């Protein structure tokens, strides 16, 4: 189960920051294309002046967006539940081995062969269940990440259109954007609005569940 544990730990802020960065850069490309298309009017060149750009620090977004923490908590809880189930199966298998060792001396060769076959089959079933749990956990991670990506992409698109931005970069100090003035930093307002939107959705879902 150690491999499962390492898999869950990889869902930390670094991975999620990368997802955010990709979504922001993809949205920036889409927004720029739409903006450039709107500037061509009846074949004439329209002088629109300086482009309005901004950036989001993806490390801060990954650390402060409340949805991420809830997703991490949910996945870790599921991991712990699965590890508990796995440990129970392993302990049961170990007991069967111990019982078999103690009673092996009184068994015939045929009975001993049957017992060994049953133990081997049970061990294989435990390993298959472990693999199913790991695959289930991986699928859960992928679904939650896809949901998070969709939310960020949709929000960035709406934010850019609402505030007249032609381009919004994802920036974490490690990508190709080596420097940009902090006056273009949109991280705080975007985090605040994302969290406000998420809290509203969460409150609505909880209210529905209590009905």
Q: What is the pLDDT of residues 97-153, one digit of tens each?
A: 888 888 887 888 888 888 889 999 999 999 999 999 999 999 999 999 888 888 898
Using an 8 Å Cβ cutoff, are 170 and 22 in contact? yes
Nearest to 83 by CA among 193, 8, 20, 33: 8
Q: What is the pLDDT of residue 49?
A: 61
Query: Which segments of 10-65 does DSSP mark as H helices, in order?
Result: 13-38, 58-64
Which residue has 């081997």 as its token pair?
A: 120
Residues 6+ apart with CB under 8 A from 18: 58
In the predicted model, is pLDDT for residue 18 greater than 50?
no
| Least confident among 31-40, 144-153, 166-175 | 31-40
Q: What is the pLDDT of residue 24?
A: 41
- DSSP string covering 154-202, please? HHHHHHHHHHT-SEEEEE-SSSS-----GGGB-HHHHHHHHHHHHHHHH
Using an 8 Å Cβ cutoff, are 53 and 165 in contact? yes
CA distances from 52 to 28, 58, 166, 167 (A): 12, 19, 5, 7
In the predicted model, is pLDDT for residue 169 greater than 50?
yes
Q: What is the pLDDT of residue 36?
A: 44
Mean pLDDT over the full length of the chain: 78
Mean pLDDT of 158-175: 87
pLDDT interval class at 45 (50, 70, 90): very low
Structurally, how many domains does the chain consist of? 1
Cβ atoms < 10 Å from Cβ of 57:
24
Mean pLDDT of 185-196: 94
Domain holding 151, by residue range, is 2-38+47-210
Using an 8 Å Cβ cutoff, are 40 and 171 in contact? no
In the predicted model, is pLDDT for residue 211 greater than 90?
no
């Amino acid at each position: 189960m150690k491999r499962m544990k390492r898999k869950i730990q990889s869902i930390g802020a670094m991975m999620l920051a990368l997802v955010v960065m990709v979504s922001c850069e993809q949205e920036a490309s889409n927004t720029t294309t739409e903006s450039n298309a709107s500037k061509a009017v009846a074949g004439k060149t329209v002088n629109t002046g300086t482009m309005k750009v901004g950036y989001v620090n993806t490390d801060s977004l990954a650390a402060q967006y409340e949805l991420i923490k809830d997703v991490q908590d949910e996945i870790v809880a599921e991991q712990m539940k699965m590890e508990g189930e796995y440990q129970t199966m392993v302990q049961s298998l170990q007991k069967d081995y111990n019982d078999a060792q103690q009673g092996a001396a009184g068994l015939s060769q045929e009975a001993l062969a049957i017992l060994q076959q049953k133990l081997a089959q049970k061990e294989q079933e435990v390993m298959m269940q472990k693999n199913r749990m790991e695959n289930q956990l991986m699928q859960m991670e992928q679904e939650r990440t896809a949901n998070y990506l969709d939310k960020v992409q949709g929000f960035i698109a709406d934010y850019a259109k609402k505030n007249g931005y032609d381009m919004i970069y994802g920036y974490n100090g490690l990508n190709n954007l080596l420097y940009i003035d902090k006056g273009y930093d949109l991280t705080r307002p975007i985090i605040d609005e994302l969290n406000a939107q998420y809290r509203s959705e969460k409150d609505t879902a909880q209210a529905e569940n209590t009905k």
